[in-house]
Chain A
Amino acid sequence: MSGSVAGDQATWSHALVNISPYTFSAIGIAVAIGVSVLGAAWGIYITGSSLIGAAIKAPRITSKNLISVIFCEAVAIYGVIVAIILQTKLESVPKSQIYAPESLRAGYAIFASGIIVGFANLVCGLCVGIIGSSCALSDAQNSSLFVKILVIEIFGSALGLFGVIVGIIMSAQASWPSKAG
């Protein structure tokens, strides 16, 4: 029943509670993929421009340093995977149940999952990109540094993975009410 959470009909809480859970879900799915891809692209251009410039004087660095680009790309793939998982969680509910607490809970869970994954991947992509840029420049000067800096990158890319794990756990318990009543 609508409006049962807050008393007065004209408060902000009343307005928020009356936004359809489908809206929240859709925004969550959009943020999951959109912001992840933003992070991945940001990281790739930061790494790529330094890599290209450094490879002019030291062509040997190109093949190894593509790993940095691949780590950034992985961030975008996490976003795609989570967005696909989230959209399979969307179900139709009967009209009377749209504003039931169970429906709201499912909508909020999908929204939160999307935000978690999106922003975790944004900062992860940035982190891996900046490290990748420094890695390319250091490798061009001294090739023994590459593997050591790669370890830092691996820790950085774990951040995106944390976001994906928590996001999937959140979305796993998003269950819509099944029948009227």
Chain B
Amino acid sequence: MYGFEALTFNIHGGYLEAIVRGHRASLLTASDYNNLCQCETLDDIKMHLSATEYGPYLQNEPSPLHTTTIVEKCTLKLVDEYKSMLCQATEPLSTFLEYIRYGHMIDNVVLIVTGTLHERDVQELLEKCHPLGMFDSIATLAVAQNMRELYRLVLVDTPLAPYFSECISSEDLDDMNIEIMRNTLYKAYLEDFYRFCQKLGGATAEIMSDLLSFEADRRVVNITINSIGTELTRDDRRKLYSNFGLLYPYGHEELAICEDIDQVRAAMEKYPPYQSIFSKLSYGESQMLDKAFYEEEVKRLCLTFEQQFHYAVFFAYMRLREQEIRNLMWISECVGQNQKSRVHDSVVFIF
């Protein structure tokens, strides 16, 4: 019952919630980012990061650092924290934590299938996969020729199996179909996660439904904008939208028929939370839309920590860390390519 979680949450979840709040305290602040943006070389970045919690992970790297190494080690830290929390979690928290990694699994599957299509080496692709989304038979994905084989050979044993019911077909895999497959899988995953959170009830259901609705709406907008001008029909586009969120169902109807960005903007401005996002962009500009969405997401994720005794803090922490790693990647790239003037284009401050 909502409101009485405080009485029994700490039996199973109290320790891990305190741990995740401790981890949250070590997220980089605005002053850390300012220091990092002043760096001249990647070694300076490594030196600044060694004073933070990333220190033990970066200290053994040999001197000519690459951006990918920094990102890899930071991701490794996130994975270590996730695994230590997962192994101490009991039901239903352990299932909740598992749900967080399914999104990465979907990304990895699509990465390998696309890479195989473009004739890349499987080992090289495996190294680029996100560690949270690895599963045992992932290398076998390179063998599949169409979706039915993909499902039958590999995915039926993974947790992604139930999400495939809507996209099994015998069509060959090409770029368009792979993107459609990615979006269909992600749609099924979001709806499943949403249902699971609703079943948990209480504060978790309330807070997670807000976060997942925002995610669903963001994906709707991105799908719409990315499919303007492609051969994706309106009905196909409509089928890729998730069945929940603030925009469901009327916003979906309007967005399915949009043909350019200004129509998207007109449709979105009817919804107050998104109107504030779109008002930051001037007409005809869509590059800053990603950053505006990230900022809104970070704001909502930080708000989850205001309430105690629920699971959404775990989800929020993982997302905030991923945002931090994205920030570090952008800063490292700018510093590495000597384009420091563009550093603030894409860094989203968390605190």
Contact of A58 among B16, B22, B308 (CB under 8 A): B22
- A selection of 29 A-B contacts at a CB cut-off of 8 Å is A46-B7, A46-B10, A46-B14, A49-B14, A49-B15, A49-B18, A50-B14, A50-B15, A50-B18, A52-B15, A53-B17, A53-B18, A53-B19, A53-B21, A54-B21, A56-B18, A56-B22, A57-B22, A57-B23, A57-B25, A133-B14, A133-B308, A137-B18, A137-B21, A137-B308, A140-B18, A140-B22, A141-B21, A141-B25
Q: How far does the alpha carbon of A57 sit from the alpha carbon of B15 in the complex, in Å?
A: 12
Q: How far does the alpha carbon of A126 sit from the alpha carbon of B8 in the complex, in Å?
A: 11
Is B26 in contact with A57, judged by CB distance below 8 angstroms? Answer: yes
- Contact of B6 with A by CB under 8 A: yes
- In angstroms, how far is the closest chain A Cβ from the Cβ of B11? 7
- Contact of A31 with B by CB under 8 A: no
Q: How far does the alpha carbon of A45 sit from the alpha carbon of B8 in the complex, in Å?
A: 10
- Contact of A80 with B by CB under 8 A: no
Residues of A within 8 A of B (CB): 42, 45-46, 49-54, 56-58, 126, 130, 133-134, 136-137, 140-141
CB interface residues, B 204-232, toward A, < 8 Å: none
Which chain A residues lie closer than 8 Å to B16 at the CB level? 53
Which chain A residues lie closer than 8 Å to B14 at the CB level? 45-46, 49-50, 53, 133
Complex interface bits, B276-308 against A, C-beta within 8 A gives 1, otherwise 0: 000000000000000000000000000000001
- Secondary structure at the A interface, as helix, strand, loop or mixed, is helix
Chain B: residues with Cβ within 8 Å of the partner, total of 16
- In angstroms, how far is the closest chain B Cβ from the Cβ of A5? 41
Q: How far does the alpha carbon of A38 sit from the alpha carbon of B15 in the complex, in Å?
A: 21
Residues of B within 8 A of A (CB): 6-7, 10-11, 14-19, 21-23, 25-26, 308
Q: Which residue of A lies closest to B19 (CB)?
A: A53
Which chain A residues lie closer than 8 Å to B23 at the CB level? 57
Q: How far does the alpha carbon of A38 sit from the alpha carbon of B184 in the complex, in Å?
A: 51
Which chain B residues lie closer than 8 Å to A130 at the CB level? 6-7
Which chain B residues lie closer than 8 Å to A56 at the CB level? 18-19, 22
Which chain B residues lie closer than 8 Å to A46 at the CB level? 6-7, 10, 14
Which chain A residues lie closer than 8 Å to B21 at the CB level? 53-54, 137, 140-141
Q: Which of B17, B22, B23, B25 lies at the interface centre, i.e. has the most chain A CB atoms within 10 A of its CB?
A: B22
Q: Which of A52, A53, A136, A137 lies at the interface centre, i.e. has the most chain B CB atoms within 10 A of its CB?
A: A53
Q: How far does the alpha carbon of A53 sit from the alpha carbon of B16 in the complex, in Å?
A: 7
Q: How far does the alpha carbon of A45 sit from the alpha carbon of B6 in the complex, in Å?
A: 12
Q: How far does the alpha carbon of A87 sit from the alpha carbon of B11 in the complex, in Å?
A: 34
Known contacts A49-B15, A50-B10, A140-B21; 13 additional CB pairs below 8 A are A46-B7, A49-B14, A50-B15, A53-B16, A53-B17, A56-B18, A58-B22, A133-B14, A133-B308, A137-B21, A137-B308, A140-B22, A140-B25
Which chain A residues lie closer than 8 Å to B15 at the CB level? 49-50, 52-53
Contact of A126 among B7, B17, B19, B25 (CB under 8 A): B7
Q: Which residue of B lies closest to A142 (CB)?
A: B25
> Given that A45-B10, A133-B10, A137-B308 are contacting pairs, would A50 and B25 also be in contact in the complex, using a CB cutoff of 8 Å?
no
Q: Which residue of B lies closest to A52 (CB)?
A: B15
Which chain A residues lie closer than 8 Å to B25 at the CB level? 57-58, 140-141
Is B6 in contact with A50, judged by CB distance below 8 angstroms? Answer: no
- In angstroms, how far is the closest chain B Cβ from the Cβ of A46? 5
Ranked 5 nearest A-B pairs via Cβ: A53-B18, A57-B22, A49-B14, A54-B18, A53-B15
